[in-house]
Amino acid sequence: SSIYEALVVMSQDFKKGLPLIDGHGNFGSIEGDGAAAMRYTEARLQKVSEDVLLADLDKNIVDFVPNFDETEKEPGVLPARIPHLLINGAEGIAVGMSTSIPPHNLGETIDAMKAYMKNPQMTVEELLQIMPGPDFPTGGIIANKKDLPAIYETGAGKIKLRGRIEVELGKRRSDKDKLVITEIPYTMIGAGINKFLMDVADLVESKKLTDVVDISNQSNKDGIRIVLELRKDADIDRIKNILYKKTKLEDTFGVNMLAVADGRPETLGLVPIIRHHVKFQYELATRKYKTLLA
């Protein structure tokens, strides 16, 4: 059952920017519904998993180690052709340490890696020109962009995430203006969406948000759409500020880029992570061609 939970998360495109599993059946929703029991679902690998995480395993490019009861051998590490740690991020806790790495855009991350290979003296600032920051599958806006260089230098810090609010003005006289939330902070996945609706309702009841007449969740499989209907001549900027201040529409994502490097846990900045990955690529290529030559 622990494996099933992990498999479900690996197939959810709202949790992973690059899902590794292709799930068939009910694999849960962004609103926090769980997946169906494992007897009702099927899964296979996504094409990308086979192409970039499992390619060339038969060419002795990584060490195989005994599994838990030493009946079989398994790869000690997968021969990832892409910096998967950065692309899908990572979250986890162990004894006395934890990690939290935000997800990044696939194309940008690979471009940054290629640029680093051409010029290993690149600084964090130069890499951030190519890969401007995290890319959460739920979208959203980063409110403290100026802190990103420091976060990526040290591998730790806090990212302020905001949902994206769009204004839809009523076409006819009788139509009300609407605020529409089309992207949410990554931390709001699951029960957070319902909690947000309740929080807005509470703010309206306690007369803190007097300009909101109605709130409805019109999200569907095409994406998030939470609609707030407004009174005539409502102060839109004030409403936005209250939403960011009093609800989880603005939230922090704690970054702590702890990874196991050369067998020991270490908090790594962006440059060391890319450096380790490039070194790993050289190692994979060398072992592959040695095997083929032999």
Q: What tokens does 276 get?
A: 């380790």
Which residues are CB-contacts of 277 (< 8 A; sequence separation ≥ 6)? Answer: 83, 85, 113
Single out the residue of 184, 139, 185, 181 nearest to residue 158, CA to CA.
Answer: 185
Give the pairing of strands 156-162 and 164-168.
Answer: unpaired
Catalytic choice (4, 40, 282, 289): 40
Other Cβ atoms less than 10 A from the Cβ of 167: the count is 12
| Region class of 235: left (phi > 0), else alpha (psi between -120 and 50), else beta | beta
What is the CA 291 to chain-centroid distance, rounded? 36
pTM of the model: 0.89
The vertex-192 CA angle with 25 and 202, nearest 5°, equals: 135
The DSSP element (H or E) to which 2 belongs, if any, is: helix 2-11
DSSP class per residue in 227-264: EEEE-TT--HHHHHHHHHHHSTTEEEEEEE-EEEETTE
pLDDT in tens, the chain (294 residues): 889 999 999 999 999 999 999 999 999 999 889 999 999 999 999 999 999 999 999 999 999 999 999 999 999 999 999 999 999 999 999 889 999 999 999 999 999 999 999 999 999 999 999 999 999 999 999 999 999 999 999 999 999 999 999 998 877 776 788 899 999 999 999 888 999 999 999 999 998 888 888 999 998 888 899 999 988 888 889 999 999 999 999 999 999 999 999 889 999 999 999 999 999 999 999 999 999 999
Task: For residue 69, give every residue at least 6 positions away whose Cβ sits within 8 Å of its Cβ, in sequence order, or none.
Answer: none
The residue type at 221: K
- Active site includes 40? yes
Integer Cα distance of 30 and 12 in angstroms? 9
Residue type at 207 in one-letter notation = K
